[in-house]
Amino acid sequence: MVYTRNDSPTGFQRTLINPEEFNYIDLIESKLIEALKDSRGIIRKICYHILRAGGKRVRPLLVCHSGMLFGEASEELFQAAVSVELIHMASLIHDDIIDETEFRRNQPTAQALWGVQHAVLGGDYLFAKAFRILADQKLVEPLEVMAHTVQTMCQGEIEQDSDQFQPLTDFDRYYSRITQKTASLIEASCRVGALVCQAPPDAVETIAQFGLHLGLAYQIIDDILDFCGDEIYMGKPKFTDLTKGNLTLPILLLLERSSEYEWLKEKLQERPFDQTLLPIIENAIRQSGVLKEAYRITVNHLDIARQNLRQCPNSPERRFLEELTDKLQARAN
Ligand code: FPP
Ligand code: MG
């Protein structure tokens, strides 16, 4: 069954990326609900709470459209898309536990509602369900890709944790962190879609590169918006990264730019974060123009993503992915 926008049983409030893609989002939504229907008790509550909290379903859309660039839509492709979204959902539950976050997307987090122990298990359940789906579909190569990707994401999260309150001016370390924790899953979404549709190996690499650079841009924009975004739209307060000691691209650019901020390096190493620094840092960030520079770096990644897309067959799916790239660029502008 394909649910329509109004009779969706989870009652999502979604921002549609492209109204023409409405049926794909709904199809994914109904298959996500279907996938979780054998859950029970608290686990079921956690799963449906996470599902209801919404999200743009970017990753499953990437699986579907990356696949359909090279082959036909199929049940296997949709199930691979569902599996990727379940892994994303699991990772957010665990990320909120690691970050001790009370709210995500303006909704209480799983651990705020059910406690850490149950939230860990809810995340594990989703994660295991995702791999069961890939195994049931006999999607061996996508399963390998996803297992490797989850390991990479864990590595990225650990690096982020050990880098907290460490004012590194080492951009490589920042890139390593965001590549692993965020871009790897977006890259994998595109790779898995292309693999399910049996794209030739070089085409798989091309669309995976598209995903990698889209994913890097996605995280850098998130990091920019932590300094200047709308709190209601983001569903979390500004300066969350900074106050948790996660030093992201804008701050690294600021520290690199001038010796005037040497004193800030020292201050940023102090735990807990000194809240009186916020207006000073906000002002410095605005006056220095580092957000514009971070935006330029984002656009550079999006341009590399576009170059890769141009090597793929010209089709409605390619246009969808181009449009998604443009929308992402507009998000930080
Ligand atoms: C959110 O990013 C979190 C991630 C991108 C990845 C989290 C990954 C893990 C917890 C490891 C993998 C675990 C499983 C179960 C698959 P963010 O913290 O930058 O953004 P936020 O502000 O939305 O929290
Ligand atoms: Mg987080």
User: How many angstroms is it from 99 CA to the middle of ligand 2?
Assistant: 6
pLDDT of residue 232: 74
pLDDT of residue 16: 41
What is the number of other CB atoms lying within 10 angstroms of the CB of residue 57?
Answer: 24
Q: How far apart are CA 34 and CA 31, in angstroms?
A: 5
Closest ligand to C-alpha of residue 181 is: 1
User: How many angstroms is it from 42 CA to the middle of ligand 1?
Assistant: 22
pLDDT of residue 12: 32
For residue 331, give the amino acid letter. Answer: R
User: How many angstroms is it from 37 CA to the middle of ligand 1?
Assistant: 25
Q: For 280-298, what is each residue's pLDDT tens digit?
A: 999 999 899 999 999 999 9
User: How many angstroms is it from 245 CA to the middle of ligand 2?
Assistant: 12
With a Cβ cut-off of 6 Å, ligand 1 is lined by: 87, 90-91, 94-95, 99, 123, 127, 150, 153-154, 157, 181-182
Pocket test residue of 91, 103, 225 for ligand 1, highest count of atoms within 8 A of CB = 91
Q: For 204-239, what is each residue's pLDDT tens digit?
A: 999 999 999 999 999 999 999 999 988 777 777 889
User: How many angstroms is it from 271 CA to the middle of ligand 2?
Assistant: 18
Closest ligand to C-alpha of residue 236 is: 1
Closest ligand to C-alpha of residue 85 is: 1
What is the number of other CB atoms lying within 10 angstroms of the CB of residue 12?
Answer: 17
User: How many angstroms is it from 227 CA to the middle of ligand 2?
Assistant: 15
Of ligand 1's listed atoms, the one at least distance from the Cα of 154 is 11
Closest ligand to C-alpha of residue 129 is: 1
Closest CA to 195 of 184, 209, 207: 207
Low-confidence ranges of the chain (pLDDT < 70): 1-22, 168-169
Architecture of domain 15-331: Orthogonal Bundle (1.10)
Closest ligand to C-alpha of residue 185 is: 1
Contacts of residue 128, defined as CB under 8 A and 6 or more positions apart, other chains included, come to none
pLDDT of residue 170: 83
Strands (E) in 22-174, as ranges, are: 103-104, 107-108
pLDDT of residue 177: 96
Of ligand 1's listed atoms, the one at least distance from the Cα of 127 is 15
Of ligand 1's listed atoms, the one at least distance from the Cα of 88 is 16
Of ligand 1's listed atoms, the one at least distance from the Cα of 93 is 10
Task: Dihedral sign for Cα 233, 60, 140, 304, please.
Answer: negative
What is the number of other CB atoms lying within 10 angstroms of the CB of residue 144?
Answer: 12
272 cis-preceded (ω within 30 degrees of 0): yes
- pTM recorded for the entire structure: 0.92
Q: How far apart are CA 195 and CA 11, in angstroms?
A: 32
Buried b (16+ CB within 10 A) or exposed e, 73-98: beebbbbbbbbbbbbbbbbbbbbbbe
pLDDT of residue 15: 41
User: How many angstroms is it from 181 CA to the middle of ligand 1?
Assistant: 6
User: How many angstroms is it from 318 CA to the middle of ligand 2?
Assistant: 31
Of ligand 1's listed atoms, the one at least distance from the Cα of 104 is 23
Of ligand 1's listed atoms, the one at least distance from the Cα of 241 is 22
